[in-house]
Amino acid sequence: MSSTTLFARAASKRVLPGFGLSLGVVLLYVSLILLLPMTSLIGELSQLSLAEYWAIISEERVVASYTITILAAAIAAIVNAVFGLLMAWVLVRYDFPGKRLLDALMDLPFALPTAVAGITLATMYSSSGFMGRLLAPLGIEVAYTWVGIALAMAFTSIPFVVRTVQPVLEDLPVEIDEAALTLGASDGLAFRRVILPLLWPALVTGTGLAFVRSLGEFGAVIFIAGNMPYETEITSLMIFVKLQEYDYAGASAIASVVLAVSLLLLLALNLWQGHFVKRLHGGKS
């Protein structure tokens, strides 16, 4: 068999079954796993009139919970953006003993049940815990304040930043920074003007994912939050409260707000990324 016929065969025939079947299976799966639950959520909402819906989602205490959740998630995401980038950089660019272990540790928040993380954090940072005891004399309270909420969110969402930036950085040859340096750029300038622009889309996506993940986090946050009305109640708790009252529609209403914010943000990220890639390739995508 000549090599040309082999390539011709490879082009027409793929390892997995044909496009029609593959796409069909994918669509079915997406419908069952993703869309069906979403539809049923919307279905719950249809029990509410528009005025009722608005009354539920704009209730003062629920609004306070949005503020707390969004602010804490934003802080967690920004902190993770900085440190996640640094971690990805160290993991890609340096060799050191224990690197594989550190790399594996990055996924720990994905593997650990979040409630376990939450209880551990709360125990550690309460005024009698070993971190809390150190921080208390400095006047820093972590557990049962919004700082604790942000901390728990940062814990559960760090892999999103690291794991999005890492592969991009791996594709980025060291020669690029070396070229910048030989052309006379300072370290800072080379990072800012050469490396950061290339990492930017991955970094923003990772940070966005971390933010969205934090919005819906329940298990890890609930134990460290203290759950004081107007001060440390997160939106997920408000949903939980509605469920306790057998108010499925109310719970769905609040959930729909979180969902809408998440979807909008993810959509914006995707659009922006498409736009960015287009610009990177000189107008052609």
**Residues lying near other proteins in the complex (CB under 8 A):** 56, 59-61, 119, 122-123, 126-129, 143-144, 222-223, 226-230, 237, 240-247, 250
- Cα–Cα distance between 50 and 177 in angstroms, integer? 56
* Paired tokens of 218: 């329940």
Q: 246's torsion region: left (phi>0), alpha (psi -120 to 50) or beta?
A: left
CA distances for 243 relative to 45, 237, 248, 253, angstroms = 14, 10, 6, 11
Nearest residue (CB) to other proteins, 81 versus 234? 234
C-beta closer to other proteins: residue 52 or 103: 52
Backbone φ, ψ for residue 256 (5° rounding): -65, -30
Cα–Cα dist 247/249, whole Å:
6
Looking at the Cβ atoms of 131 and 204, the one nearer to other proteins is 131
Are the CB atoms for 240 and 26 separated by under 8 Å? no
The nearer residue to other proteins, 117 or 169, going by C-beta atoms, is 117
Residue 14 is which amino acid?
R
| 17 secondary structure, DSSP code | P
Residue 108 or 228 having the CB closest to other proteins: 228
- Residue spans of alpha helices (H) in the chain: 3-12, 19-30, 36-45, 50-57, 60-93, 99-105, 108-111, 114-125, 130-135, 146-171, 174-182, 187-190, 196-216, 219-225, 235-244, 248-280
Smallest separation (angstroms) from other proteins to the CB of 243? 7
Distance CA 251, CA 253 (A): 5
164 vs 233, which CB is nearer to other proteins? 233
- State which residue, 7 or 230, has the beta carbon closest to other proteins: 230
**Buried residues in 187-225 as b, exposed as e (16+ CB within 10 A):** eeebeeebbeeebebbbbbbbbbbbbbbbbbbbbbbbbb
| Torsion sign over Cα 74, 78, 84, 85 | positive
User: Of the two residues 208 and 250, which places its CB atom closer to other proteins in the complex?
Assistant: 250
Please report how close the Cβ of residue 108 comes to other proteins at its closest, in angstroms: 22
Question: What minimum distance in Å lies between the beta carbon of 120 and other proteins?
Answer: 12
Residue 51 beta carbon to other proteins: minimum distance, rounded to whole angstroms:
14
Compute the least distance from the CB of residue 171 to other proteins, in Å.
Answer: 45
Cβ 227 to other proteins shortest distance, Å: 4
In the bound complex, what is the minimum distance in angstroms from residue 119's beta carbon to other proteins?
A: 8
Shortest CB 61 distance to other proteins, Å:
7
